[in-house]
């Protein structure tokens, strides 16, 4: 049995024509942002990818199929679906088997993108090691996915609600290149600077594309995380956010929020506690990531420059 993939007309045409493509996830739509900003953002992110010369492929599960690329109507329905499942690697096959509507997280989106032959994926922030993971064992499946599925994920860093040093440690153990784009330090989602040095740094889309190609040439499994800092004009300084994150984490603990509910709960509380500023920042950083992902996909598509044979 082959994987049940269904391509939108736009994505099918891009595949046939060899146009660069960028995968986009859907959990950010169903669990990461409120309606209607989630729909506006999903549409704006797709437009950003097109403006940069690539084709967007937003990925979601419905009717027993992994849908690669959504029509405007599909996006509008998804953005208003209250009971969509949050699907990661563990859930994908069961959701397909029972025909559930589901949104794909970073891990499930990477799997689907790879099956569809898409090498670059843009999102907001990846999941990682949660604070207190030494007791809860809550470590996002995004990290082990990056270790095994060859897709380049462009994000504004791991979300700042996480334990960032532990997240970097796990990524290092798993052999995942963590590349800060254009700066030395790791960005922290809503903030440009986490205060931690990023393991690696690259300064342009062409060198990121070359690193992807080199990894393939070495036969190494897995992808790469490109941590793209939020534009300066849109950032919330880490110092401003620190007490708000602590408050949201405390509320999550008091209310016994666990497992898949943790990240959506924290994002929602931080949205309220920042009077919506975190959402404005989240939207700006996703758009910024979509643009860089499209540039990387375009560079990856460039035919290698043929070396000129020496004249006889």
Active-site residues: which are they?
A: 25, 159
Tell me 139's DSSP state: B
Least Å distance, CB 140 to Mn ion, is 5
Strand, coil or helix: 11: helix
Query: How many residues interact with ligand PSU (rule CB under 6 A)?
Result: 17
30 binds ligand PSU (CB under 6 A): no
Residue from 24, 28, 79, 257 in contact with ligand PSU (CB under 6 A): 28
138 binds Mn ion (CB under 5 A): yes
Residue from 282, 288, 295, 298 in contact with ligand PSU (CB under 6 A): 282
Q: Residue 125 binds what, of Mn ion, ligand PSU, none (CB under 5 to 8 Å, by partner type)?
A: ligand PSU
User: Which C-beta is closer to ligand PSU: that of 110 or that of 202?
Assistant: 110
User: Which C-beta is closer to Mn ion: that of 91 or that of 138?
Assistant: 138
Pairwise CA distance, residues 7 & 69, whole Å: 6
142 binds Mn ion (CB under 5 A): no
In sequence order, the 6+-apart residues with CB closer than 8 A to the CB of 51 are 291
10 binds Mn ion (CB under 5 A): no
Least Å distance, CB 12 to Mn ion, is 34
Q: Residue 167 binds what, of Mn ion, ligand PSU, none (CB under 5 to 8 Å, by partner type)?
A: none
Pairwise CA distance, residues 110 & 145, whole Å: 7
- Closest of 115, 4, 14 to residue 65, by C-alpha: 4
- Closest of 81, 88, 95, 83 to residue 38, by C-alpha: 81
For residues 213 and 236, the answer to whether their CB atoms sit within 8 Å is no
What pairing do the DSSP bridges indicate for beta strands 152-155 and 120-122?
parallel
Place of tokens 């060859």: 150
Pairwise CA distance, residues 245 & 156, whole Å: 17
127 binds ligand PSU (CB under 6 A): yes
Range list of H helices, 149-222: 164-173, 205-217
Residue from 8, 24, 25, 119 in contact with ligand PSU (CB under 6 A): 25
Residue from 31, 89, 192, 269 in contact with ligand PSU (CB under 6 A): 31
Q: Which of residues 165-194 bind ligand PSU (CB under 6 A)?
A: none
Residue from 39, 60, 68, 106 in contact with ligand PSU (CB under 6 A): 106
Task: Choose the binding region for ligand PSU from 9-17, 27-35, 287-295, 298-306 (rule: CB under 6 A).
Answer: 27-35
Distances (CA, A) of 36 to 28, 81, 255: 13, 12, 27
Range list of H helices, 220-261: 238-254
User: Which C-beta is closer to ligand PSU: that of 53 or that of 132?
Assistant: 132
State residue 285 phi and psi, 5-degree precision.
Answer: -75, -35
32 binds ligand PSU (CB under 6 A): yes
Tell me 29's DSSP state: I
146 binds ligand PSU (CB under 6 A): no
The residue ranges that bind ligand PSU (CB under 6 A) are 25, 27-28, 31-32, 105-106, 123-125, 127, 140, 142, 260, 263, 267, 282
């Amino acid at each position: 049995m082959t994987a049940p993939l269904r391509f939108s007309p736009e994505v099918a045409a891009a595949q046939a024509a060899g146009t660069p493509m960028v995968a986009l996830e859907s959990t950010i739509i169903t669990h990461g942002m409120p309606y209607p900003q989630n729909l506006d953002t999903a549409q704006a992110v797709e437009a950003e990818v097109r403006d940069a010369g690539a084709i967007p492929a937003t990925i979601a599960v419905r009717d027993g199929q992994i849908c690669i690329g959504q029509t405007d109507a599909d996006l509008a329905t998804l953005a208003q679906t209250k009971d969509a499942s949050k699907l990661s690697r563990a859930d994908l096959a069961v959701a397909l088997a029972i025909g559930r509507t589901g949104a794909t997280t970073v891990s499930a989106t990477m799997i689907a993108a790879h099956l569809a032959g898409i090498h670059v994926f843009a999102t907001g922030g990846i999941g990682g090691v949660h604070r207190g993971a030494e007791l809860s064992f809550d470590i996002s499946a995004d990290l082990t996915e990056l270790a095994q599925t060859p897709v380049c994920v462009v994000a504004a860093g791991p979300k700042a609600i996480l334990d960032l040093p532990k997240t970097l440690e796990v990524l290092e153990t798993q052999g995942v290149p963590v590349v800060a784009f254009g700066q030395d330090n790791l960005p922290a989602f809503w903030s440009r600077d986490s205060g931690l040095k990023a393991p690696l740094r690259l300064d342009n889309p062409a060198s990121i594309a070359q690193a992807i190609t080199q990894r393939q040439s070495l036969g190494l499994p897995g992808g790469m995380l490109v941590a793209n800092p939020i534009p300066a004009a849109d950032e919330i300084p880490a110092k401003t956010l620190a007490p708000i994150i602590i408050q949201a984490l405390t509320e999550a603990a008091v209310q016994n929020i666990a497992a898949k509910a943790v990240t959506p709960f924290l994002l929602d509380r931080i949205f309220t506690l920042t009077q919506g500023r975190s959402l404005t920042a989240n939207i700006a950083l996703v758009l910024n990531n979509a643009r860089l992902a499209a540039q990387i996909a375009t560079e990856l598509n460039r035919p290698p420059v043929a070396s000129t044979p020496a004249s006889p």
